[in-house]
Chain A
Amino acid sequence: MHYSIVRYILGQVLQVESALLILPFVTGLIYREQEAFSFLVMALACLGLGALMKLKKPEQMVFYAREAITCVALSWIMISIFGALPFVINGDIPSFTDALFETISGFTTTGASILPVVEDLSHASLIWRSFTHWVGGMGVIVFMLAIVPMTGGYNAQLMKAESPGPTFGKLVPKLKDSAMILYLIYIVMTLIQIVLLCLAGMPLFDSLCMSFGSAGTGGFGITGASAGGYTMLQQGIITVFIIMFGVNFNAYYLIVGRNFKDAFRMEEVRWYLLIIASAVVLITSNVRSFFDSWFEAFHHTIFQVASIITTTGYSTVDFNQWPDFSRCILVTLMFIGACAGSTGGGIKVSRIVILLKSFRQQVMEYIHPRSVTTIEFDGRPVEKNVVRSISAYLATFVMIFAISMLILSMDHNSDLLSGFTAVAATFNNIGPGLDKVGPMANYGGLSVLSKYTLMFDMLAGRLELYPMIILLFPRVWKRN
């Protein structure tokens, strides 16, 4: 472990965060709120501390996989801690544990909240909450790579650790350019959503927060009713955009390059849309009696389905009241998650598809023991070690899940269903679960131990498990 390079990069990330903190400060100034100054104080503190950490340049600017992964994990913990402090300083969320939970939930684009009454927050805090979604969606490190000049190929390790999905490929030869293209697509899509929501009659502040939340597939609402208080047109726009933000961003790069054929041939995107369509058909027919018309049932179903599968977590109705069949489908969708290379969480559609194909291969091997088959994805054979790493990923996923549930079962304020869905909803970065942590409830009632467990789950889920797990191994911390 080369500590000096880790320290240097963390300093850089901290300075990036100080720039990000300017947005809530300015918002607060516009609304003439004194809470705004807590963000300015934090921005200055991050700037100063970052400069201090960068003061001594490491002798060698190279780092290896180990340093990169540790850097990413530590960066996320660090930005969460510094992002939580303004809430504590300005008194919007006095408890540090709760503020940290809220911020981690923001950066990891989970959207699970501990706040009983969201409307009590200042505008500065509200927009910061939503903005953390936007930043966390595409990733802080990716943002840093896009704007800070860095050399050396091992930077790819940084981006790899932060981008969701089983495999990682660059769009263009240079990492910096790849990161810039990703952010450019991301910014343009967010802007379009903001404009459309404004045109549909939503106030600017609401449309900013809702767009940040959908772009990062986060899900913090700014009212207790989440997206329930908006018109059907506005909800419709949000539905379309959250589905779009759950698509692999490579597809948009292909579309921008006028390569439509390849974009629509992406197997993962097709599966993703197919899963959404079938879930919508099943649930709509199941919940028809709850609504006045088929259209209304369809409208609310597709919103909920899109919100859950992309791991956003907005809601227009309390789906906790829906029949068990529908709730069960929604919980299944929680685990599937969005496409790799999108801003969504979960296990990822591509992993599920490859797992299903290897399941079919296994069955074939029982029927014809001498059969030789290869798994294909996107028309290309999948390497054996990719399949192996996906199986290992699933095993690790189940293990963390089981341990987390065990810890939550000790909590008096939780029951089996609430505990199960709480872990599922945070680990997959969705937000609302069922029952006591359902869409119209919150996580505030859980014990401190449960909250820290869920915080770990959120970070592990966002960073694809291993970066967070690695931190627990003492071997990583040895100097070499």
Chain B
Amino acid sequence: MRIIIVGCGKVGRTIAQRLCKEGHDIAVIDKSSKVIENITGELDVMGVIGNGASYSVQSDAGIEDTDLLIAATDSDELNLLCCLFARKAGKCNTIARVRSPLYNEEIGYIKEELGLSMIVNPEYAAATEISRLLRFPSAIKIDTFARGKVELLQFVIPKDSPIADSRIMDIPAKIRGEVLICAVQRGQNVEIPNGQFVLKGGDTVSIVSEPLKARPFFNKVGIDIRKVRNTLIVGGGTVAYYLAKILEGSGIQVRILEKSMERCEELSALLPEAIILNGDALDHNLLKEEGLETCDSFVTLTGIDEENIFLSLFAQQNNQRAKIITKTDRIAIDELIEKFNLGSMIHPKNITAENVVRYVRAMQNSIGSNVETLYNIVENKAEALEFIINEDSPVAGIPLSQLKIRDNVLIASIYRRGHVIMPNGQTTIAVGDSVVVVTTHRGFRDIRDILA
């Protein structure tokens, strides 16, 4: 597919990287020649220097034959203008990054009126993900399928857990319950395990479960499942605002610590339920005074990655119980950060890129069985995809044990008429099912890609 990406900042670049890996023809537009030089040196893309909202620049990038334009500059207005012109010039689909809370409230109207295919809001997406983690703090990462009816949860096995050092096939007997382990990460390696695989304490494991069943499972394997009743947020930016908005009325009390007095006043007007604190988070005494040692959860959302990481390290030392969530924009070296055992990391640019890739794959395959959702799990080393099965699918109606499924592919769950089925060899996939597949392969677009 031919795709134009306007703006090569953090988000634009990440999207370009992901889409390039999937083999699309990509042209990038940016004002700065340095940025263009940099990205064309690293990725197999065509670079155009100029203002992405200008017709001549768009036409240099080949707007007439383009299928999709993604506007990801740092200005919302410019992004919307880019998309508006692109639609007129090229009749292509358009995705705009719009992140201002002001526009976010009118997002449906804007999308409709400007004929946008999709709007991405990295800050809002990040806030949603954080809120999910706060509701279920035992998991490092939670992704949802089938409109929230199926969840993919990632967690670390405690050293003293009853399932540590046991084979996967023995687990149902030990905990007296069904569970499907989709992916195991140990150090640098990611594996899609079979029944013989022996789990160890400290492994990062992804499981598929129904939302209500996850809690008892976690209890049985020895993971603390207490609820979060309050949260301390450092940094009062857009993400913090969205997060506080989402948490309104959820029973989680929100405290936001922000450096700028002006912003504090704004926030206090916007968020009447939250407690807004003015002060510098690097002041340890202030943090302790505001209950760092006793809070249930601690979220760092300042604009400086290094500050976020250090604050989280500090919090971890002072409060062993708290759920710690760290946001980083530029730094995404999870291998390194993981050594600090910081818990959950949030990368808004990666979340956005995932959303875009998901859309692109669905666009590519409007007939056949769509990719409904897509998540990168365990540090982008594996993917979890959800497919809706159409009538003529070759996988329908045949027991799974008789299908020739490729290596490193796992059918994680089947959602049929309100019920989640944990698949085994005798299970058959039926038309209309929503199927979650976990794989270390890349670029699956259709359910038939799982076949060898």
**Could you list which residues of chain A lie within 8 angstroms of chain B, going by C-beta atoms?**
65, 151-157, 169-170, 172-175, 177, 383
Show 10 A/B contacts (Cβ-Cβ < 8 Å), sorted by A.
A151-B44, A152-B44, A153-B41, A156-B44, A169-B47, A170-B40, A172-B46, A174-B25, A174-B44, A177-B25
Among candidates B25, B33, B41, B62, residue contacting A156 with C-beta atoms closer than 8 Å: B41
Q: Are B46 and A173 in contact (CB under 8 A)?
A: yes
Give the interface SS of chain A, mostly helix, strand, loop or mixed: loop
Q: Contact check, A153 vs B40: say whether CB atoms are below 8 A apart.
A: yes
A249–B266 Cα gap in the complex (Å)?
Answer: 58
Tell me the smallest distance from the CB of A457 to a CB of chain B, in Å. Answer: 29
Question: Which of A153, A169, A173, A383 has the most CB atoms of chain B within a 10 A radius of its CB?
Answer: A173
Contact B46 A153 (CB under 8 A): no
Contact B44 A155 (CB under 8 A): yes
The CA of A59 and the CA of B27, in the complex, are separated in Å by 30
- B42 touching A153 by the CB < 8 A rule? yes
Known: A153-B20, A177-B25, A383-B33. A170 touches B46 (CB 8 A): yes
- Counted as pairs of residues, one from A and one from B, with CB atoms less than 8 Å apart, the total is 36
Nearest chain A CB to B64 CB, angstrom units: 10
A174 contacts across to B, CB distance below 8 A: 25, 44
Binary per-residue interface labels of chain B (32-76) against chain A in the complex, 1 for a CB within 8 Å, 0 otherwise? 010000001111111100000000000000100000000000000
Chain A residues lying within 8 Å of B47, measured Cβ to Cβ, are 169
Q: Are A175 and B41 in contact (CB under 8 A)?
A: no
Contact of B42 among A154, A170, A173, A175 (CB under 8 A): A154
Please give the distance in Å from A299's CB to the nearest CB on chain B. 41
Is B26 part of the contact surface with A, judged by Cβ < 8 Å? Answer: yes
CA distance A169 to B273 in the complex (A): 55
Q: Mark B1-21, 1 if CB is under 8 A from A, else 0.
A: 010000000000000000010
Chain A residues with Cβ below 8 Å from B46 are 169-170, 172-173
Give, as a whole number of angstroms, the nearest-CB distance from B88 to chain A. Answer: 20
Complex CA distance for A154 and B25, rounded to whole angstroms: 16
From the candidates B20, B26, B41, B62, name the one contacting A157 in the complex (CB within 8 A): B41
Nearest-CB residue, chain A, relative to B25? A173
Query: What residues of chain B lie closer than 8 Å to A172, measured between beta carbons?
Result: 25, 46, 62
* Whole-angstrom distance between the Cβ of B432 and the nearest chain A Cβ: 38
**Docked pose: A383 CA to B33 CA in angstroms:** 9
A144 to chain B, nearest CB (A): 15
Given contacts A172-B46, A383-B33, contact A154 B41 (CB under 8 A): yes
Could you tell me if A173 and B41 are in contact, using CB atoms closer than 8 angstroms?
no
Most chain B beta-carbon contacts within 10 A, residue among A174, A177, A383: A174
Of chain B, the residue at the smallest CB distance from A157 is B41
A194 CA to B41 CA, complexed, in Å:
38
Q: Is B25 in contact with A153, judged by CB distance below 8 angstroms? A: no
Q: How far is the CB of B212 from chain A (nearest CB, A)?
A: 44
Residues of B within 8 A of A170 (CB): 40, 46
Q: Choose one: B27, B43, B62; the contact of A153 (CB below 8 Å).
A: B43
What's the Cα separation between A174 and B62 when bound, in Å? 13
Beta-carbon contact of B25 and A175 below 8 Å: no
A155 and B47 CA atoms in complex are apart in Å by 15
Contact yes or no, B33 A173, CB < 8 A = no
Interchain CA distance A157-B41 in the complex, whole Å? 7
Question: Which of A65, A157, A383 lies at the interface centre, i.e. has the most chain B CB atoms within 10 A of its CB?
Answer: A383
A153 to B41, CA, bound (A): 6
Min CB distance B44 to A, Å, is 5
A151 to B44 CA separation, bound complex (whole angstroms): 8
B33 adjacent to A175 (CB under 8 Å): no
Report whether B44 and A153 are in contact in the complex, using a CB–CB cutoff of 8 Å.
yes
Contacts A153-B42, A172-B46, A172-B62 aside, 8 further interface pairs with beta carbons under 8 A come to A152-B44, A153-B44, A153-B45, A156-B44, A173-B45, A173-B46, A175-B44, A383-B33
Question: Could you say which residues of chain B place their CB within 8 Å of the CB of A153?
Answer: 20, 40-45
Residue in chain A with minimal CB distance to B39? A153
Q: How far is the CA of A231 from the CA of B406 in the complex (A)?
A: 66
A300 vs B237: C-alpha distance in the bound complex, in angstroms? 75
Q: How far, in angstroms, from A70 to B330 measured CA to CA in the complex?
A: 32
CA distance A82 to B45 in the complex (A): 34
CA distance A164 to B25 in the complex (A): 25
Whole-angstrom CA separation of A107 from B43 in the bound complex: 30
9 shortest interchain CB distances as A-B pairs:
A153-B43, A173-B25, A173-B46, A153-B44, A153-B42, A170-B46, A175-B44, A173-B26, A173-B27
Shortest A233–chain B CB gap in Å is: 41
Distance from A37 Cβ to chain B, minimum over Cβ atoms (Å): 41
Which residues of B are found within 8 Å of A151, using beta-carbon distances? 44
Nearest CB in chain A: distance from B413 CB, A: 33
Distance in Å from the Cβ of A75 to the closest Cβ of chain B? 20
* Chain B residues in 8 Å Cβ range of A152: 44
Which residues does chain A contribute within 8 Å of B62, judged by CB atoms?
172
What's the least CB distance linking B24 to chain A, in Å? 8
Q: How far is the CA of A151 from the CA of B21 in the complex (A)?
A: 9
Residues of A within 8 A of B43 (CB): 153
Q: In whole angstroms, what is the CA distance A65 to B47 when docked?
A: 18
- A38 to chain B minimum Cβ distance, whole angstroms, is 39
Bound CA span A170–B45, Å? 9
CA distance A129 to B156 in the complex (A): 67
Q: Which residues of chain A are near B41, meaning CB under 8 Å?
A: 65, 153-154, 156-157
Residues of A within 8 A of B40 (CB): 153, 156, 170
Q: Chain A residues near B44: list those with CB within 8 A.
A: 151-153, 155-156, 173-175
Which residues from A are CB-within-8-Å of B25? 172-174, 177
B-side contacts of A173, CB under 8 Å: 2, 25-27, 44-46
Scan B88-108; emit 1 where CB is below 8 A from any A CB, else 0. Answer: 000000000000000000000
Cα A157 to Cα B40 in complex, Å, equals 10
**Chain B residues near A383 (CB-CB < 8 A):** 33
A153 to B23, CA, bound (A): 12
Which A residues lie within 8 Å of B45 (CB)? 153, 173
Q: Please, how many angstroms separate the alpha-carbon atoms of A174 and B19 in the complex?
A: 12
Give CA–CA (A65, B37) in the complex, Å: 13
